[in-house]
Structure formats: C-alpha cells, structure tokens
Structure 1
C-alpha cells in the first residue's frame, strides 16, 4: 500500500497526538501529576509522528513479512529517536531524555526496551491502525481535511518557534525556575512575557535535563584548525571524498565480477556515488564517538545501519523518480531485491575499514588544509553538487517522461532532450529500471 501525501500528513498528526497521550499518561503514572511531555505546547509529540510517517513510507511492502517489518520498524524508529536526541542536544545544548539507567542503552538516547516497543508498534501500524485511520480520513470531504491540516500546520509552526525561543533563552546557570526567570529578565526583553515564562516552566518540568548545567567537556570550543573534530566541514569533506571513492570502488568491483566497465555514478556530472557519500558522512557522524570500540562492535553497527540505509535509499529513489537503480533479487538472502545479507556484511566490513583505517588518515589530511581555503573548497563543492543533483533529478524525470511517450513541452524539456538523450542516460545509469 502506498500512501498519498494527504494521508501521510494526517498520519503524522494522528500519531503525534497518540504519542503525546502515551507520554503524558506515562508521566502522570510516574509522577502522580499531569506533565505535558511534548516539545511543543500543543497536545503533540512530533517525534512520534515523524517515526510513523517514516514507517508508512518505507515499510508497507513488508506487511506480509512480519519479522522483517518488526526489524525494519525497530531500526528506522530507533534511528529517528537517536538522531532527534543528538540534534536537539546539539541545537539547544541540553539532553531532553536520558536512558542511561536502562540496560542495553546507547549514550542515553536509545535503549533496547524502547526499540523493541517501536518494532511492535510498527507492525501494529502497518497491519492494523494505518488502514483503519486511512478509512476514517475518507469519512469527510478532502477539502475540509486540507483546511484542517493547513490550520494545524500553521499553529504547529508558531508553537515550534515559540518553544524553541523559550528553550534557547534558558541559560546554564541554575536548575530552579526562579533562577531561570531572573536570568531571562537580564538577557532578553523579547522573552520577558508571561507566555514564554510559562513555556520555560513547562519545559523544565517535562524535561529536567534541560535545566542542568552542561559539563566543561561538552562546551563548544573555537576551532584551532580547519574541520577539527567531527563538525560540518569535516562531514562535508568526507561526503565528497566518500562519493568519489565509492564510485571508483563500485566500478572496479563490477569490472572484476562481471567483466563490464560500467558507470556507477548517481549524478550526471562526475564520478560521484551519492549513496556512498551520504553513508560516509552519516556513519562517521554516528560512529565517531565509538571509533575506539572493538572491530566487532563497529562491524555490527555498520551491518545494521548500512543495510537499513541502503533499503531506505532504494525505496526513496523508487518513490521519487519511479526508477530502480539496483536489484538484488537474484542474490540469496535478499529482501525485496533492495538489500541482501552479503552486501549488509560488506557494509559492516566497510565500516570497520573506514573508522579504523581510512578515516583517521583522511581526517589528518583534511585538517592540514588552511581554514579559509578549506571552507572555500567545501562551499564551492556544495554549490556544484547541489546543481548536479537538481540537473540529475530533472534529467531522470525527463527520461521517464520520454519512455512514456511524452513530448517536450517546455524549454527545459527541450534542453534536457538535447543534452541528456536516452543513450547518455542509459550509459550513466546502466541498471536503471522504470517502475511507473
């Protein structure tokens, strides 16, 4: 079952509300008082909605393979929870939840108990609740539903902005509400209003960790060299290097295994495999703090994360472009032709080789660049790659239209037909398969 955008937005709000009810109920049972556990002030927990939409987009084809649906839902939702926790701590310099006291937890962001629960919920959503909710959505005219969604989205955006401003106004000093309010009066007239103070009081009550002083080790230090640590410029540099090396590695691998020299690029300009580039950046960001762990630990993380990542990329490209760029159906132990066990192990091996061997060397070389030159190179490459991705997406879309017999109707279509004819597109993407 494929969901429409209209249905996905409704599912986002429905599950955000259900998540808020569950969080508020759990907090009420634990503290014997009502606590609004959402980041926003309304009765919504957006992280639940985001997880539900991700499951609805990427996993519906696993409806009849319950074990894989459970595992996929467990991985995707756990990743969203981990990513959200780290990003919010990065943005607001505070930890919003902490599972450090739970068994089998990871940095307090995620724990096995919750991950198993998310897997069970994913199965329930795909098999039972989503069809039920989608039927319910059809009970009222779509134009009314769209108006309701626009109103809800507008209110949510305003709520997000107000909550974010309130949290950013919380200073390190003091964990008590009186100290926070006193500090706010000194620092910002914008935040000197009763509504914002109420939001801040609710935030500290719901998430006690945000009122705690951040340790010295966590303080952001001014970079002494270019791309020090694992920041934006380091990850951007790794993205470009990984995209180039990934394309070369895949090309050589195909040449050795099939005897054919074929393009493995994701874009129309240059030998760049975006799948590998994004993987290098994201996996480095996730595994950076665990780089001193054992090879076995890195291998297992790489196997699961790499397999989930490749599966998501496969679904996304098929939904976005109506094309399949790889198909593992003929390889044993595959899942819908999107991933297979052998290549998942390759991801694990690649993670070990990358984090233990390649990354440390690359990191040292990157940090040797002059700060201004390094930033300029990254910005130029980002602009180039952004244009490259847009042109590639347009060329792929026009290729799909040509296969359906649609004539060029705009100047852009004529340009694409002239510069990216079928022969060129099939040379760049030799394994392309149309699904629409």
Structure 2
C-alpha cells in the first residue's frame, strides 16, 4: 500500500506535467490543467495505480496488457466524468465531436493512446519509479505522504467551493435574465394596452378636437408624459439589473477562471448559454 500511495502522488504530478505540456503546445501559453489547483491530476494517479495493481502480472504479454489498459482507462474516464457531472452539474470534458465516443466521456482515439502510454509505464517507467521510492526512508516517506494528503485535502475543499460558487453565479445570472425578460414582456404589454386604449378613444378625441384643440392637446400631452415616466422608470430598472449582471460575471471570472481555462470543453447542464458567455469573457482576460 505504501508504494501504491507514493505512485498515486508521483503519477498525479507527472500527469499534470503531461497536461500542461499538451495545453501549452495547443494554446501557446501556460494553463494550470486539472480539477485541483495544485500541480496534480488525481485521475492520472488513480489510473496508473489501477493499471499497476491489475496488469503488472500481464506486462510481458503485450496484447493482453494493452487491451486491459484501454478497457481500464476508458472505464475510469467514464466513471469519473459521470460522477463529476452528477455531483457538480458540469460536463468537465466532452469528446462528443470525436468518432467512437461514449456519451462524450471517453473516445477511442485517446483510449488507444492511453493504452500505449500504459505499456510504457508498466515496462519502463514504473520500475524506475519503484526503485526511486525504495531509496526514500520509510519514516521520512510517511511524513511526506502525510503532508501531501493534507495539502490535497485542502485543495479539494477549495476547488469544490469554487465549483459551488460557479453554480451560484450561473443561477443568479439566470434569475437576472429571467427578470429582464419578464420585465420586458410586462412593459411591452403595458405599452400595447395603453396604445389600444388610446386608439379606442380616437373617435372621442376627434369629437373633442372639433370642439376645442386645446383640450385635445392637453390630453395627448398627459398621455405622452405618463409614457415617458414609465419608460424612464423601465430604463432605470433595466440599468440596475445590467449592473448586477456585470458584477456577477466579474465575480464568476475571479472565482473560476482557472477551472474554465483548465477545462475549455466544460459545459453546464442547466445554464449552457450563460456558461459559454462566461467562458468567452474569461478568454478575453
């Protein structure tokens, strides 16, 4: 178990390095990849530990080791993606645009690539890592593992709070959008009903016009003044809602910028359009 725990942390770090290199090559800038804030990608650590535990006896049989690696890593991606989506209502990665994918959680292309990577790990990298771990005195090793556990637990708590804040911001933005739409519809109905009422009195106004233009002018001016007041009040309410909306967007950017950059394919189950707007705004910073 001691070696498995060390392997988890080491491969989580190495996996983070791979993700950073991959993102840097594609975006030409540094991106802190991974669900957590620290320099670790736990899914890599879990994946490699599972591969080592299950397939080390088969590592000399390349075909079985390769097939086993593809199946195990694909299953891990499926389970992890599903759990993250159900827990946080976000789809953190999406392979839906790639051929032979399973609900966007896993795809054949990357599964085959991970199969090759696992063969490399089983036969070349892991024996080296194992020897490096044996060079660390067990007492010192346990101290370091304890420190790593504390750091990763803190990181998990901070990251989960960031995701919760993201969902709160998206919910509040959605509520503002609904208020603005509802207000627009109600104001439009008032204008429409007022216009209809005004037209219905057209004949009456024509009669009044024949009797005296001053009275007609006064009635029209009163109607226009009422409409102006309503319009001004509507502008103020819309302006206040827009200010609050911008504040929430800025708050969302501050809290989840790293997560959105780390998972550019992330999608929200409930607020898809708002998530895309937030991602677009973050990309400009």
TM range (shorter): 0.5 to 0.7
Conserved 8 A contact 1:70-1:122? yes
Query: Which of 63, 75, 82 in structure 1 is aligned with 2:59?
Result: 63
Which among 83, 90, 98 is matched to residue 94 of structure 1? 90
After superposition, where does 1:391-406 map in structure 2 within 5 Å?
Answer: none
| Equivalent position to 1:201, from 233, 238, 257 | 257
CA distance in 1 between partners of 2:113 and 2:136 (Å): 32
User: In the alignment, which residue of structure 2 is the partner of 1:413?
Assistant: none
Contact 1:163 1:199 in 2 (8 A): no
**Matched-pair contact (CA < 8 Å) for 2:89–2:268:** no
Deviation at 1:208, TM superposition (A): 3.4
Cα distance in 1, alignment partners of residues 5 and 65 from structure 2:
22
Shift of 1:24: 1.0
Which 4+ stretches in 1 moved above 6 angstroms?
none
- Tell me: CA distance 1:197–1:162, structure 2 relative to 1, closer, same or farther (3 Å): farther
Supply the distance in 1 between the matched residues of 2:123 and 2:10 (Cα, whole angstroms). Answer: 16
CA distance in 2: counterparts of 1:215 and 1:197, whole angstroms? 16
The residue that corresponds to 1:49 in the other structure is 45
C-alpha distance after superposition, 1:132-180 (max 9, x if no partner):
10101122211111111110111001100110111022133569xx969
Higher-Rg member (1/2): 2
Deviation of 1:181 after TM superposition, in Å, equals: 6.3
Find the residue that maps to 2:67 and give its secondary structure: helix
Q: Cα distance 1:136–1:170, how it changes in 2: closer, same or farther (>3 A)?
A: same
Quick one: which of 97, 112, 123 aligns to 2:119?
Answer: 123
Do structure 1's residue 182 and structure 2's residue 248 form an aligned pair?
A: yes
| Aligned CA distance change for structure 1 residues 128 and 181 (closer, same or farther; 3 Å) | farther
Cα gap change, 1:183/1:29 in structure 2, threshold over 3 Å: closer, same or farther? closer
TM-score, structure 1 length as denominator?
0.43
Classify 1:180/1:71 alpha carbon distance in 2 versus 1 (closer, same or farther; 3 Å). farther
2:145 is the alignment partner of 1:149: yes
Count the aligned residue pairs.
200
Given the superposition, is the C-alpha separation of residues 115 and 213 from structure 1 closer, same or farther in structure 2, using an over 3 Å criterion?
closer
The structure whose RCO (Cα within 8 Å, separation 6+) is larger is: 2
Q: TM-score, normalised by structure 2?
A: 0.65
> 2:19 — aligned with what?
23
Task: Write the distance in 1 (CA, Å) between the matches of 2:266 and 2:245.
Answer: 14
- CA distance 1:184–1:31, change in 2 (3 Å): closer
CA distance in 1, matches of 2:66, 2:35: 27
Instruction: Compute the displacement of 1:198 (Å).
Output: 4.8
In 2, Cα distance between the equivalents of 1:181 and 1:161? 25
Check the 8 A contact 2:94/2:266 in 1, yes or no.
no
Distance 2:157 2:247 in 1: 19
Give the whole-Å Cα distance in 2 for the aligned partners of 1:184 and 1:92.
Answer: 21
Query: How far did 1:32 drift?
Result: 1.5
Unaligned runs of 5+ in 2: 175-243, 273-285
Match of 2:91, SS state, is: coil
The 2-side partners of 1:87 and 1:35 are apart by 24
Structure number with the higher helix fraction is 2
Determine if contact 1:88/1:96 at 8 Å carries over to the other structure.
yes
CA deviation string 1:52-104 (max 9, x = no partner): 01111111110221100000111011100111001100001001011112121
Deviations 1:294-349 (A, max 9, x none): xxxxxxxxxxxxxxxxxxxxxxxxxxxxxxxxxxxxxxxxxxxxxxxxxxxxxxxx
Task: Compute the displacement of 1:211 (Å).
Answer: 6.0
Q: Deviations over 1:329-386 (max 9, x none)?
A: xxxxxxxxxxxxxxxxxxxxxxxxxxxxxxxxxxxxxxxxxxxxxxxxxxxxxxxxxx
Distance 1:71 1:179, change over 3 A: farther
The residue aligned with 2:78 is: 82
Aligned-partner Cα distance in 2 for 1:97–1:34: 19
Deviation at 1:10, TM superposition (A): 1.0
SS at match of 1:59: helix
Equivalent in the alignment of 1:251:
none
